[in-house]
Amino acid sequence: MLKGKIDRRILDTLKLMGFEKPTEIQAKILPQLLLGKDVIGAAKTGSGKTLAFLIPVVENLLRLQFTPKHGVGCVIISPTRELALQTYEVLKKLLAAIDLSHILIVGGVKKHKEIKLLQKGVNILVSTPGRLLDHLQNTEFNFKNMKCLILDEADKLLEAGFEKHIAGIIKLIPEDRQTALFSATIDDKIKNLARLSMKSSPVLISVLDNVRTVNGLQQGYFICPIEERIPWLHKMLKKCKKLKVMVFFSSCKSVDFHYEFFKCHCKAPVISIHGKLSQANRKEAYRSFVEAKTGVLFCTDVAARGLDIPHVDWIVQYDPPTDVKEYIHRVGRTARGSNTTGNAVILLRPEEEEFVNFLKAKKVYLDKYNFEGPSSEVVEMLQNLIKDNGVMRTLSRKAYLSFLRCYKKHPLTKFFDINNMDLDAAAKGFGFIERPHIDFCILLQLLLIKKLLLQSYEFIAFFWFHK
């Protein structure tokens, strides 16, 4: 299909990467992007959209004979550091035999190295929104010849509150450019972003179907009392010693607590990743899990979007997702690509089972799973640790508090209502024999104070900047 239409070096590299023929979205989008048209692409996670935009980006810059002296030819914006890193790694492979300069720009790393490379001349720039806007506003580098803007995972960009960053970027970059926007959903917010970023009428290409998850995915739910979740997970990980598993939690503190318990006290092969880790630690965790043949990744939803981690066998949703889209993106970490399979399970309390029908109404179909009852030994071990180990007790209390906080703020209160949760049983799920005292009135007051302080700081900063 692509022979004679794109540079031979690209074709040779794709063959070495193991790609014999394009996926559906690649077959539909590549011709449009090669013609220079603006495109909105709608596709499920794992459909191959990264190469769908990288191949024409590289081909078009080669046709224009871009060199470092031309500066930035294309900017690719991703919502998270991990997704930006993943896109950049694919780009580096694609450019193995091609001399186009490239750079990854994300928060959490020192800026002076980025500044030097930008000023030297970079053709393809992969970045998160905040860091890119910072450089556009404060670093002198050549982006006047920019030909293309890619907005990847656009729905997540909007959900993460990057509207102002994107608007700021679009105001600063050249208007005469090609723009491609990729999203798993097309709603009014995405259409508004398209109107903001695209000057011409875009071509809409959708490869979504009525079933919102991929065909090779076997997914189900397990009714698990909240106090039995840790022994269930312990047994699950023992059975999956030769497999690759991702476990999703609702908060960074919950990841930290479960990681400490399973890694240090149960000797499980666990890696952890969440948004409060340093960029270096996040990068190392991501790469370690990508390269691992077996093992477990404990994570928050920072790992739910777009990450292409090979050969993940099981997705465990230990805590509930905030919405259907987040559910789909979590399970989308397995059964990626054509002719692949994977498994997923979500743990639900008996009071939460109606959530399954809610998913069904959204065209996500789950089977009911049955697992053997877990052993109580791991509970006794955890309770003794909480009683005797100050570090574990502190981690457990913070995790318990953050779990309740997330649950209390859950958008789908019809299914995840803290008022019907047994807080004593929930405390046992974190290793406490007796429930720690939690005053929700004080908690809400603290959250409100924190919000007001942040708003005050933003106002002061705005006033000072415009003084």
255 and 179 belong to one structural domain = no
The answer to whether 128 touches 109, Cβ cutoff 8 Å, is: no
Please give the pLDDT value at position 448: 56
Answer yes or no: do 297 and 256 share one domain.
Answer: yes
| Chain mean position to CA 131 | 18
CATH number of the domain that 124 lies in? 3.40.50.300
pLDDT of residue 449: 59
438 within 8 A of 402, measured Cβ to Cβ: no
Q: Are residues 125 and 196 in the same domain?
A: yes
Query: Given phi > 0 = left and psi -120 to 50 = alpha, else beta, which region is 415?
Result: alpha
**Cα(316)–Cα(346) distance, rounded to whole angstroms?**
6
- The C-alpha atoms of residue 380 and residue 239 are separated, in whole angstroms, by 20
How far are the Cα atoms of 217, 235, 367, 392, 459 from residue 370, in angstroms, in the given order? 18, 13, 10, 31, 53
- Structure tokens that stand for 34 in this block: 């090669």
For residues 158 and 189, give the distance between their C-alpha atoms in angstroms, rounded to a whole number. Answer: 8
Residue 458 falls within a domain, yes or no?
A: no
**Looking at residues 375-382, what average pLDDT do you find?**
90
Closest CA to 143 of 166, 164, 116, 119: 119
Tens digits of per-residue pLDDT, 49-98? Answer: 899 999 999 999 999 999 999 999 999 999 999 999 999 999 999 999 99
Give the bridge partners for 297, in sequence order: 246, 271
What's residue 453's pLDDT? 61
Q: What is the pLDDT of residue 463?
A: 47
202 and 286 share one domain: no
- Looking at the structure, tell me whether residues 202 and 221 fall in a common domain: no
Q: Nearest CA to 316 among 353, 338, 342?
A: 342
Say whether both 144 and 251 belong to one domain.
Answer: no
Evaluate whether residue 1 is within a structural domain. Answer: no
Q: In one letter, which amino acid is 311?
A: H
Indicate whether 224 and 161 sit together in one domain: no
Compute the average pLDDT of residues 13-34: 92
Residue type, 428: K
Average pLDDT on 419-423 reads 95
Q: What is the distance between the alpha carbons of residues 58 and 52, in angstroms, rounded to a whole number?
A: 11
Gap between the Cα atoms of 153 and 185, Å rounded? 9
pLDDT cut 90: percent of the chain above it = 73
Cα–Cα dist 337/215, whole Å = 10
Q: Copy the structure tokens of residue 386.
A: 């909480």
The CA distance from 153 to 156, in Å, is 5
- Which pLDDT belongs to residue 465? 44
Tally of domains in the chain: 2
Picking from 94, 93, 134, the residue whose alpha carbon sits closest to that of residue 114 is 134
Let me know whether 274 and 343 are in one domain.
yes
Q: How far apart are CA 75 and CA 149, in angstroms?
A: 5
Please give the backbone phi and psi of residue 277, each rounded to the nearest 5 degrees, phi first.
-75, 155
Question: Do 231 and 374 lie in a common domain?
Answer: yes
Tell whether the model's pLDDT for residue 442 goes beyond 60: no
Domain boundaries, position 390: 217-443
Report if residue 464 sits inside a domain. Answer: no
Q: Tell me the per-residue pLDDT of 85-134, one tens digit each, with 9 for 90 and over.
A: 999 999 999 999 999 999 999 988 889 999 999 999 999 999 999 999 99
Q: Is the domain of 179 the same as that of 326? A: no
What pLDDT was estimated at residue 107? Answer: 86
pLDDT in tens, 322-341: 999 899 889 988 987 666 88
Classify residue 199: in a domain, yes or no.
yes
Tell me if 33 is assigned to some domain.
yes
Residues 269, 187 share a domain: no
Residue, of 62 and 186, whose pLDDT is higher: 62
Q: Which range, of 209-213, 402-406, 409-413, 427-431, averages the lowest pLDDT?
A: 209-213
Q: In the structure, what pLDDT confidence band is assigned to residue 459 with cuts at 50, 70 and 90?
A: low
Mean pLDDT score, 436-452:
58
Diameter over CA atoms, the chain: 71
Q: Which pairing describes strands 39-42 and 74-77: parallel, antiparallel, or unpaired?
A: unpaired
CB 30 within 8 A of CB 55: yes
Is 236 inside any structural domain?
yes
Q: Is residue 461 one of the residues assigned to a domain? A: no
Q: Is residue 3 part of a domain?
A: no
Mean pLDDT of the chain, nearest integer: 90
Phi, then psi, of 231 in degrees rounded to 5: -60, -35
Residues 230 and 363 in one domain: yes
